Structure 1
Amino acid sequence: MSQPTSQTSTLGYFRWAFIVTVLGLILGGVLGWQSEGTIGGMLTVFFICAVLAVLEISLSFDNAIVNANKLKDMTPVWQQRFLTWGILIAVFGMRIVFPLLIVVIAAGIGPIDAVILAAARPDEYARIMNEAHLPIAAFGGTFLMMVGLSYFFKQEKDVHWIEVIESRMARFASIKGVEIAFVLLLIMLFSRLLPEAEASTFVHSAVYGLLTFLLVEVLGGLLDAQQKTMSAAAKGGLGAFIYLEVLDASFSFDGVIGAFALTQNLFVIAIGLGIGAMYVRSMTIMLVEKGTLAEYRYLEHGAFYAILILSVIMYVQTMVHIPEVITGLGGAGLIGLSLWSSIRYNRMERQREASSGMKHSHA
């Protein structure tokens, strides 16, 4: 990854995403023709792939911004590893292997049997996936909540978008483990709203989500500290890579489960979400290379607020279904607001500098 530059056009960053979109939609059309044998069936699958791609992109604006936030502190070598190997893990691991793994564990069958089940009995496959929604939502929601709160509960954080909330959170950051206590309290409150059998599953899965976040943080710190002792220039290496992979997995839970509302075909889901994941990669590269996060000071704030809202939505989804469109639009709306606030701030700063310059020239 090069230093921030504006040589590449915005469309240039999405070249590979466009290529994958065309190939993915063609493959989706072929799958539709093979499974239905009609033009109508082919167009239906084609349309579902397109909708799934849009769904994944809308749910992943915040993912791209958070990735860019972490990537800008990583060495070029590890940046490149994440954007090549990391994206392969994201597309194939989370969109194909993860749903299969859930069925393997939930149904107690082998991986090959899970693939056969997905291909031959998609309705049964979808039923198992939907039954696994509660523990997945609890785990993913807790991990994302810790990610969001850790951003705001920082003593050194001095740039605030929503001053009244963020300044208080920064002040309370001096209390060790305050975000952990907050999340544990929320877990207990939500568990009381669920039936007894489901409450136990929810608490266990949520605690595993919390432990995973803490483990990744500790492991990341140890690995990156070890690299720093080997080389003073090494910064943000394997530890940051693992953190980003677990983070991407948590973001993917919602999209993967939600996709089953549109189709029960695992392969169609993989194509649609895989297309969306390529746009996330392109957005991430663009944000890092163009230095967009530094240029728009509140953009990160919007992304982390979107993460917090997504985590709460995942908790609420253990009780009632919330359409993915609402989740996606909510996150995109917050990021749009933060972008608008950043542009307004930049404009006011330029006006202030211009008026200050005029005063000096008159003096």
Structure 2
Amino acid sequence: MRGRDFGVAYGATLLGLVLALWLGGIRSATVVAMLAVLEVALSFDNAVVNATVLRRFDLRWQRIFLTVGVLIAVFGMRLVIPMAVLVAVTRQSPFHVLSSSVHDPNGYAHEILGVQPLIAAFGGVFLLMIAMDFFLSGHDLIWLPFFERRLAAFGERFKPLALEAFQVVGVVLFLFVAAGTFATDHPVGVPIAGVIGLATYFTIKRLSDAAADRSESLADEADETPPQGRQALMLFIYLEVLDATFSFDSVMGGFSVTVDIALFTIGLGIGAAYVRSLTVFLVRKKTLDRYVYLEHGAYYSIGVLAVLLLVEIGPDVPDWLASVAGTSMIVAAFIHSAVKAKGEDPAGAEHPALKS
């Protein structure tokens, strides 16, 4: 890991551990370290997914993602969003929520678990739509033909608006059934949270597509001009929303380690910095061009995580299962890509990077 690519992560680690030592000594520093490792373990697939989008940006926007994006991830997903959810559900002030996390950690943990079905509905629907959009659109490169070709053929049968309407109706019906069957404490909240996830996805997608349509198009798709201006901003927002939603598993898993909001934010913030550094590293090393199935593996991972989040509307899914299930898809795609690359270059000669 070179300092150029991981300098922000190293700096976040040093600052975070110093803060943890100041707040509670060795014990707090140990908790922060555990949270950082948890974040990286649960979010490796997140880095691969981020890289599939980030590789479209130029160096300036990559740096923005690595710096400003870290701040958004730390203070947005890992501090503001959990508190905002609790404020909205409990109808208590942010100060009370923050105070409870420090002085009444057990009560705070109970509040988090109480709204987990709502978080799962929002995150599961958002990620499911992303995975469906990828597989229903079809691609020249196929990793698992039996599954991907059938989904692509299904997507071709409908016009885009009809397909979206079919998806929306199916998702909403599922949410009402799931809420009535499992989340009896949130019979209305779960469908509303899922619809908000749908609306968030379609809003971001529409804005991004509109900006892309107005941008300069290229004849050669293999050599796309990096997005600029409004298009770059819309893609950046999409990337941040995707990254935040994809981090729900690590956020929920983090509460199994501690409910101290300060240590929680510091630990997962350090992990988020490493995930972003790893994302930029994958882009700059052109790893996704060489290992051509990694992108497919990432979207399979998104689909698996989406399903597990939707399952969590009812029974709890162990954190280790989400981690293993998501990461295993990435590992399988990496191994298959490596075998493919070796088969196409048996003599070890240098060839142009493979394009997906």
- When normalised by structure 2's length, the TM-score is 0.86
Residue matched to 2:82: 99
C-alpha displacement at 1:189, in angstroms? 3.7
Q: Identify unmatched segments of 5+ residues in structure 2.
A: 218-224, 350-356
1:250 and 2:249 matched? no
Q: Which of the two has higher C-alpha Rg?
A: 1
Q: In 1, distance between residues paired with 2:254 and 2:274?
A: 17
Change (3 A) 1:78 1:22: closer
Distance 1:195 1:139, change over 3 A: closer
Q: 2:21 aligns with which of 20, 29, 32?
A: 29
Question: Does the 8 A contact of 1:139 with 1:208 survive in 2?
Answer: yes
Q: Residue in 1 aligned with 2:143?
A: 161
Over residues 262-309 of structure 1, what are the superposed CA-to-partner deviations in whole Å (9 max), with x where a residue is unaligned?
111011111110111011111111111111101000011111111111
Is the CA contact (8 Å cut-off) linking 2:143 and 2:296 kept in structure 1? yes
- Counting only pairs closer than 5 Å after superposition, residues 71-220 of structure 1 correspond to structure 2 as 71-155=54-138, 157-174=139-156, 175=158, 176=160, 177-178=162-163, 181-182=166-167, 184-189=169-174, 191-192=176-177, 193-194=181-182, 196-220=184-208
Displacement of 1:120 in angstroms is 2.7
Is residue 300 of structure 1 aligned with residue 295 of structure 2? yes
Letter of the 2:298 partner, please give it: A
Q: Equivalent of 2:254, from 243, 259, 273?
A: 259
Structure 2 counterpart of 1:171, one-letter code: A
Q: Alignment RMSD, CA only?
A: 2.5
Work out the number of aligned pairs and report it. 334
**What percent identity do the matched residue pairs reach?**
37
Within 2, Cα distance between the matches of 1:199 and 1:304?
Answer: 30
> Does the 8 Å CA contact 1:103/1:125 hold for their aligned counterparts?
no
Structure 2 letter corresponding to 1:213: Y
1:351 aligns to what SS in structure 2? coil
Q: Which of 309, 319, 330 is matched with 2:304 structurally?
A: 309
User: What is the alpha-carbon distance in structure 2 between the residues aligned to residue 290 and residue 248 of structure 1?
Assistant: 21
Map 1:228-247 to 2 at 5 A: 228=216, 234-235=227-228, 236-247=231-242
